[in-house]
Amino acid sequence: MSIYTTPSPEVMKVINSYKKPFEEVLVSQPAMLQGSLYREVVFKKKVLGNFRENPKEYLYLDENNEIVNNKNTVLRLGRLFFYMDAFLSQDKDSIIAALQRDGDLQKTSNDFEQSIFALELINKKEKSKKDSKFDKNKKQVKKVDEEETAVKGVKEVENTLTKLSALRIKTNEKLKMLLEKIEEEKEKNEHFNELMVEVLMPYYREAMVCNYEKIQLISINSDYYNDIKKRADKAKKSYTLRFNTRNTEPLMKLHYTMGYFENLLRSYGNIASMNYNQYLKVVTNSGKTNAEYKISVLKNKVQ
């Protein structure tokens, strides 16, 4: 469930002059700042794609439905609503939802086990091809050693998958602590506020550090993913033609996982180049950074 809903007729009367054609308007639940309630109004262009990625502009309303035009207040509100969305939103694209997917231990364990099995399959397949080759004198070429990998990167990627499985356990624990603290703070506070942000931030940082560790792990063996993905797809087609369905699902999982790793690094590859302290600084300042962006695309003028 999102923290944003369709605005009431009363709110629309106030903001209608700011609305452009083909824009959709959403208004947040109220949040508390210095004893007063405020809401964030989001104007998004009606284009295909999800809400978080669409171009947006913003307005802020006080409890009397008057537009906020004080720059410092708007900056604080921008930061406040960033964290409100991060901590309270339950829609599928929220930060919490992403962490929950990372913490899905049963699914992760099954996917990685099947991917590791598929790695062994493609390695055995390639090893078998090499073992069956003969030299010009029809003497069999020295067989590939049992411990040697026929496909480059198989052992390295298997090691990455094993470590990621362990990391998911840690992610699950950190996420559980964060969610429990969020529920505890919701019980104490009628409305989201800055004090809640400060209380929740240490738990949020620890959960986000798991994301950093995941990207670092995945980036180490990035040179192998594309080749293994292609081999998995080729092997899957081979087994499908022979109606060997037992091996097709693991190969599909491996193909998907390698593609997922590649997409993840395309989107968050900059994190791989950061050290721990640099990443922690980005996470800590994310609310401030988001607030500065929002004020740059504000519908009204501030002073």
Q: Could you report the per-residue pLDDT of 243-256, keeping only the tens digit for each? A: 667 889 999 999 99
Q: Mean of the pLDDT values across residues 186-209?
A: 96
Q: Which two tokens stand for residue 159?
A: 């090691």
Q: What is the pTM of this model?
A: 0.84
Pair (30, 126) in one structural domain: no
pLDDT for residue 105: 60
The predicted model gives 264-292 an average pLDDT of: 95
Q: Which DSSP string corresponds to 115-177?
A: HHHHHHHHHHHHHHHHHT-B-TTSPBPPPPPTTS-SSTTHHHHHHHHHHHHHHHHHHHHHHHH
Total number of domains in the chain = 2
40 and 164 assigned to the same domain: no
22: left (phi over 0), alpha (psi -120 to 50) or beta: left
- Does 242 lie in the same domain as 171? yes
User: In terms of domains, do 150 and 236 share one?
Assistant: yes
Residue 149 falls inside a structural domain: yes
Residue tagged 């593609």 (tokens): 259
**Rounded Cα distance, 286 and 281, in Å:** 8
| Same-domain pairing of 60 and 189 | no
Pair (133, 268) in one structural domain: yes
Q: Tell me the residue range of the domain where 196 lies.
A: 103-272
Is 87 within the bounds of a domain?
A: no
Same domain for 233 and 132, yes or no, is yes
| Nearest alpha carbon to residue 194 among 77, 28, 89, 284 | 77
Residues 114 and 46 in one domain: no
Cβ contacts of residue 223 below 8 Å, gap of 6+? 153
Cα 65 to the center of its chain, rounded Å: 34
> Is pLDDT above 70 for 130?
no
Question: Helix, strand, or coil here: 54?
Answer: coil
Q: 10 Å Cβ neighbour count for 99?
A: 20
Query: Per the domain annotation, does 290 fall within a domain?
Result: no
Q: What pLDDT sits at residue 134?
A: 45
pLDDT of res. 102: 57
Residue 299 lies in a domain: no
In a domain, 96, yes or no: no
CB environment 141-155: b (16+ within 10 A), e (fewer): eeebeeeebbbebbb
Buried b (16+ CB within 10 A) or exposed e, 219-254: bebbebbeebbebbbebbeebeeeeeeebbebbbbb
Q: Which of 2, 97, 82, 43 is nearest to 289 (CA)?
A: 82
Residue 257 shares a structural domain with residue 108: yes
Q: What is d(CA 199, CA 201) in angstroms, rounded to the nearest whole number? A: 6
Nearest CA among 28, 2, 33, 3 for reference residue 15: 28
8 shares a domain with 139 = no
Do 145 and 46 have their domain in common? no
Residue 136 located in a structural domain: yes
Confidence (pLDDT) at 296? 96
Domain finish residue from 59, 75, 91: 75
> For a pLDDT cut of 70, what percent of the chain falls above it?
84
- The answer to the question of residue 112 being in a domain is yes
Q: Is residue 280 domain-resident? A: no
Summarize the confidence of residues 209-236 as an average pLDDT: 94
Both 19 and 153 in one domain: the answer is no
